[in-house]
Structure 1
């Protein structure tokens, strides 16, 4: 029960981190942060994950050390009622927080929602242990077992929050499906001959995207610019998480082609489905 209480108290710490962090990651881009302040949200996620991990390790360590120690008193039905109330309240908080996180597209708020859910789930073994201990007083070890289950749930939640944040900090690909979507959008535009070198990375709840776009070598600069701007607008409309797109324009010639490279006249024919 104490372990579950400590877990619930950690909610207060992470909620405070969300309130403070949101003031920074929602700030617009400036001279010092030209790509925006999204990484402040990532740092908040890391903070939430670390706090959860510390709480989980502390509870687990205490539980292991106390295994075999006989409790002086058995928990009463008041403890059971407290666990049930905690389950209901935390589940309500989880559902409400998830709705708000989706509205504003906040990964940090979504992480905190799962912190509430893990709190609700961790109260289940507590409630079971209390009620079992009440009816079978000799099963003292159930309290330590329940605490270890709480520890496992907390550490699982901490990992699921920390891992995406670590991947973001190490510049991992944000979404593996984006390349296929860009290729699909490009295939629907007859003015675009090819797109390649597609890269995307996450900053907070947003994704930054860049790629090379090939057009007819004889096309004017103005026309090529117009095509890329229209294509950029289309991407931003279709992909909600993408907030910025950098497009490098190149001529569709043998030196720049990657997907459909040029080859010798005797080896193959230059085939372009859009010609």
Structure 2
């Protein structure tokens, strides 16, 4: 990876970190002053964003490193581990907030959160939504799954501030609605846990060596059909390593073709795939002759094909 994507990751993360510190301090302070437990919980959530920002700043130094002898397939799994860390931390924060909310439901609330809590919640929604959209744009530019996960962390923070704002307004209009602030904090918990699952599941799926993309095989088949020198491709396998995909498959050509010509066809096809599918960073192609013994997509019947694998005439 060139220096430009790394700088973009660090820039987006630093911007988010500064915003998270400011929002966390404001929300926790205002929450304590106004007696809004939900706003305090939301402030803690913002501090958890800061921890994940740190994980990305540290992790990006490793997953962007080029392949070496110790890691011949690159260091992309460091990005996967960073995503798992983000997801686990987010889930832990959500469960902690939920436990505190449930524990406080049995205690009478002595104060009703003031309008200052509402202003802080709305400000958080606006700032975090802007951060989400901007970070998502940066993630798409360089196809960074970790940056994409952090963008959704910003969105979860924006969403978690919404029930806080609603609870403050409801308490202000109807002060007798006891425990509404705690209920809002539980809604914050649910949103945080949902965001954690959406970050964790793809990362765990990747570690199980699952197929990288269900649509990838049909794309490769389509590209092969467009190349007149390629008779067939099969045994297509893909796996993800961080934001990158490693691909391998068997490519069948005319059995009378020279090895040099077959190699050139395979190399050109590889270059075409790398150009068309940005996530794919490496392709291993196993060249085979297009004969009955090797054909899979269009198998020929025994006794009806010549040595080249072409369908023969049964009457001959």
- TM class by shorter chain equals over 0.9
Report the Cα offset of residue 251 of structure 1.
0.8
**1:139 match: secondary structure:** coil
Whether the 8 Å CA contact 2:244–2:279 is kept in 1: the answer is yes
CA shift, 1:68, in A, is 3.3
Q: Which residue in 2 is equivalent to 1:52? A: 90
Instruction: Tell me if the contact between 1:254 and 1:262 (Cα under 8 Å) persists in the aligned partners.
Output: yes
| Correspondence for 1:7 among 21, 26, 45 | 45
| SS of 1:262 mapped into structure 2 | coil
Instruction: Find the aligned partners of 2:226 and 2:132 in 1 and give their Cα distance.
Output: 41
Deviations 1:119-162 (A, max 9, x none): 00110000110111122221121111101100000000000000
Residue 191 of structure 2 corresponds to 153
Query: C-alpha distance in 1, partners of 2:237/2:201?
Result: 20
Partners of 1:111 and 1:140 in 2: CA distance: 36
Which of 131, 137, 142 in structure 2 is aligned with 1:104?
Answer: 142
Match of 2:72 in 1: 34
Moved more, 107-116 or 136-145: 136-145
In 1, Cα distance between the equivalents of 2:116 and 2:226? Answer: 65
Structure 2 contact 300–311 (Cα < 8 Å) conserved: no
TM-superposed deviation, 1:69: 1.8
Which of 233, 244, 247 matches 2:271?
A: 233
For 1:192 and 1:58, the matched residues in 2 are separated by 57
Secondary structure in 2 matching 1:41: helix
Distance 1:27 1:265 in 2: 54
Map residues 57-206 of structure 1 onto 2, 5 A cutoff: 57-206=95-244
Post-superposition offset of 1:270: 5.2
Which whole-Å deviations, capped at 9, do the CAs of 1:223-264 have from their partners, x for residues lacking one?
000000000001111111100000000111111111111213
Paired residues in the alignment total 271
CA distance in 1, matches of 2:263, 2:185: 62
Cα distance in 2, alignment partners of residues 266 and 240 from structure 1: 42
Deviation at 1:66, TM superposition (A): 1.5
CA contact (8 A) 1:263 1:270 kept: no
For 1:78 and 1:116, how far apart are their aligned partners in 2? 22
- Separation (CA, whole Å) in 2 of partners of 1:136 and 1:187: 67
Greater mean alpha carbon deviation, residues 199-208 or residues 63-72 = 63-72
Unaligned runs of 5+ in 2: 1-38
Question: Which secondary structure state, in structure 2, belongs to the residue aligned with residue 140 of structure 1?
Answer: coil
Q: Specify the SS of the correspondent of 1:171.
A: coil
Using structure 2 for the length normalisation, give the TM-score: 0.83
Note the residue ranges of structure 1 that are not aligned, 5 or more in a row.
Answer: none
